[in-house]
Chain A
Amino acid sequence: MRGTLAARAAIAAVAALLPAAIAGAEVRAPAPLPPYAQAYEPTTVDERGLWMEVDEVERKLRDSRFVIKDQKLVDYVQGVLCRTVGDDRCRAVRIYVVRDTAFNASMAPNGMMVVHSGLLLRVKDEAELGSVLGHEFGHFELRHSLNGFKQRRTASDVMTWLAILAPNTGGALATGIAGSAFAFSRGQEQDADMLGLSYLAASPYPSASAANVWERLMAEQDATAAGRKRKAQHRYSAGFFASHPTELTRATYLREAAARAPDPGDAAQAAYRATMAAFLPDFLDDQIKLNDFGGTEYLLNQLAGDQWTPQLLYARGELYRQRGNPRDLVSAAQFYQEAIAKGYAGAEAQRGLGLSLMRSQQVEQGRAALQEYLKLKPDAADASLISTLVAN
């Protein structure tokens, strides 16, 4: 969206309000949303420069192979954003869903929003997605990039250029360059969190969803660390140089603020699941191939809740088969069998089952499953290779 704040006084007022809410002031009604102006044009030299840079990033991103070019998915994500922040605000936002397994989303000052597939895989319903998108939109609406840019420019031109020129270290995208230039301060993160919460409170979604996301992210990071035999690295207070509040602090103040202004609402889980069903196999495949057993196992358990769908069982089989310890292969075979028993439609479950059994030296049963795979999918890309295994 090109529209940001018309009056700077209003930003100051809102920015001043939000920390008060965090500090524990009584919040009866959601904080008033900032005023809004359509087709905003950058005004100062700093802002114009910033826009020029991100316009260029957006031009490159638009044609990138990493962008998932599925208009239905983009429309759906845009719909969630619109229901969260309001129709007038969201309309001019351009959303790009990129294939990147990281839990992340970002928004540039010119109204370009980047949503990673790793985020779509991890949130459970529209409300949780809305809370993250609303947070990013909060940065945009409060013009944090510009403020940070100006501040850094004043502090040191060299540092600013280093930030812009720094090679992309984290993400898999050209936007990483923009990401490093537009890193926000801890105070800005907190302001965006609270503004995001105000959007959520004014939306049809329940405000409590915002804290859920951070709590699960912490648990997943712990699971990853445990799976790699490392110590969990959660800090209970942010370090002096940390740009984000710790996930624990975040979850706590979001939970408290949501409790003070309770709004039940419908998180729209069924609609979210229905839309993501078509993309889930690809997103899960990308996640499994990260070689992160602990984190992925936690994630699959979270997605399943108390109901393991055939698709999730198949994914779990793939995860265990990939790690490939003798006990993993036994578990993997069971997961494939359960998936098939529950009606998994794809032939690849038979393939996974056959290969797990073959590696567990149960050659006869393995061969039978692989033959079933070839029968179901005679023109499979690996049919000739699988045939040699069956023949042996």
Chain B
Amino acid sequence: MAGKIAGALIAGMLVAAAPAMAGNSLVAPGSKVQVAKSGMSIRSDGEWNKLGRRLGPNTETWTIDGDELNDVTFYGGIADGLPIFREVDKKNRPLPRVSSTMLVTDIPTLFETSYRIAYDTPLMKIDTVEPTSFAGGKGVRFTYSFTRPNEELHRKGEARAAVVGGKLFLITYEAPTLHYFDKTLPAFRQLADSAAF
């Protein structure tokens, strides 16, 4: 009897715990999917895992080996006046906001500042910026590198972005410099090239 109750309790706990993990799903190769609750669609040639956890209301994260090892995040149309991801401490560490009048050069700076504040690290810099075409329009491609506090791991990132209709669209890829960045870079570039509205 006691064993049954314990069993039922454990089962109950598993059911209760399940929704937190249930959000993760497989993105099958060759599928064309809408990402980040936006009009942006992506076609993937390989398998990816879509995480249930979101950085903010208009974001979506994909990974192959786990988001600490390779992380592709789509920011789908962040509107004027909003931060690019959820704020941890709005009162004491407010994040910069997207502005519909931003120039294309302001996008990497906005991203850099958001990362510096969110991760509480001065070791975040934009390495290169160049014009690119993004989902058929004009955009910016930039690379960056950063180190989070309490963790000496050096990470690199690559991103493409554009302001479309006053909203910021951004796709980022980041991974530890050691092994993982180069390993997943071609798969990321294939995703980014496929972006369309």
Contacts and interface: CB of A to CB of B under 8 A. Distances in A.
Contacts of B103: 355, 358-359, 389
Nearest to A99: B122
Contacts of A334: none
Given A291-B94, A382-B105, A384-B131, A176 B116 contact: no
Nearest to B95: A291
Interface in A206-228: 228
Interface string A356-388: 001100000000000000000000011011111
Contacts, number: 82
A230 interface: yes
Nearest to A171: B149
A101 B122 CA distance: 8
B127 A290 contact: no
Contact of B128 (A291, A359, A381, A388): A381
B147 interface: yes
Nearest to B109: A322
B129 interface: yes
B131 A100 contact: no
A228 B89 CA distance: 12
A173 B149 contact: yes
B131 to A, nearest CB: 5
Contacts of A100: 122
B69 to A, nearest CB: 19
Contact of B149 (A66, A381, A386): A66
A331 to B, nearest CB: 16
A230 B90 CA distance: 11
A291 B117 contact: yes
A286 interface: yes
Contact of A290 (B104, B105, B116): B116
B55 interface: no
Interface in B111-132: 112-113, 116-117, 120-123, 127-131
Contact of A388 (B94, B106, B121, B131): B131
A251 B169 CA distance: 49
B123 A66 contact: yes
B105 A385 contact: yes
Contacts of B91: 228, 230
B104 A389 contact: yes
Nearest to A64: B152
Interface string A267-305: 000000000000000000010011100000000000000
Interface string A41-70: 000000000000000000010011110000
B154 interface: yes
Interface string A170-192: 01111010000000000000000
Given A385-B130, A388-B131, A65 B154 contact: yes
A385 B129 CA distance: 7
Contacts of B99: 324
B112 A381 contact: no
Contacts of B116: 286, 289-290
A117 B127 CA distance: 22
A99 B116 CA distance: 12
B122 A388 contact: no
B107 to A, nearest CB: 10
A211 to B, nearest CB: 26
**B99, B101, B103 interface centre (most CB from chain A within 10 Å):** B103
Interface in A153-203: 167-168, 171-174, 176
Interface string B143-168: 00001011010100000000000000
Contact of A228 (B94, B106, B120): B94
A386 B152 contact: no
B96 A322 contact: yes
B127 A381 contact: yes
Given A355-B103, A359-B103, A174 B150 contact: yes
A387 B123 CA distance: 28
A335 to B, nearest CB: 17
Nearest to B147: A65
A171 B149 CA distance: 8
A171 B131 CA distance: 36
**A171, A172, A381 interface centre (most CB from chain B within 10 Å):** A172
A-B pairs with lowest CB-CB distance, top 6: A172-B149, A286-B122, A382-B129, A388-B131, A99-B122, A384-B130
23 contacts: A64-B152, A65-B152, A66-B122, A168-B149, A171-B149, A173-B149, A174-B149, A174-B150, A176-B149, A228-B94, A289-B117, A291-B95, A291-B113, A324-B99, A355-B103, A358-B103, A359-B101, A359-B103, A382-B129, A382-B130, A386-B105, A387-B131, A388-B104
Interface of A: 60, 63-66, 99-101, 117, 167-168, 171-174, 176, 228, 230, 286, 289-291, 322, 324, 355, 358-359, 381-382, 384-389
Interface of B: 91, 94-96, 99, 101-106, 109, 112-113, 116-117, 120-123, 127-131, 138, 140, 147, 149-150, 152, 154
Given A228-B94, A385-B129, 14 more contacts: A65-B154, A66-B149, A99-B122, A168-B150, A172-B120, A173-B149, A286-B122, A289-B117, A291-B95, A322-B96, A355-B105, A385-B105, A385-B131, A385-B140
